[in-house]
Homo-oligomer: A and B are copies of this chain.
Amino acid sequence: MSTPHAILIALLEKPSSGYDLARRFDRAIGYFWHATHQQIYRELGRMVEAGWVSVIEDETAAASRKKVYCVLPVGRDEVARWVRETPLDLDSRNVFLLKLRADAVIGPLGLAEELARLVAENRARLATYREIEQRDFGAASLTRGQELQYAILKAGIHTQEMWLAWAQEVRPLVEPAQA
Chain A interface residues (CB < 8 Å from chain B): 28, 31-32, 34, 91, 93, 97, 100-101, 103-105, 107-108, 125, 129, 132, 144-149, 151-152, 154-156, 158-159, 162-163, 165-166, 169-170, 173
Contact = CB atoms under 8 A, between A and B. Distances in A.
A144 B159 CA distance: 26
For the complex, would chain A's binding face be called helix, strand, loop or mixed by DSSP majority?
A: helix
A34 to B, nearest CB: 8
Contacts of A34: 91
Contact of A97 (B152, B165, B166): B152
A169 B148 contact: no
A156 B104 CA distance: 17
Contacts of A156: 31-32
Given A154-B169, A169-B154, A170-B151, A145 B28 contact: no
Contact of A166 (B147, B148, B155): B155
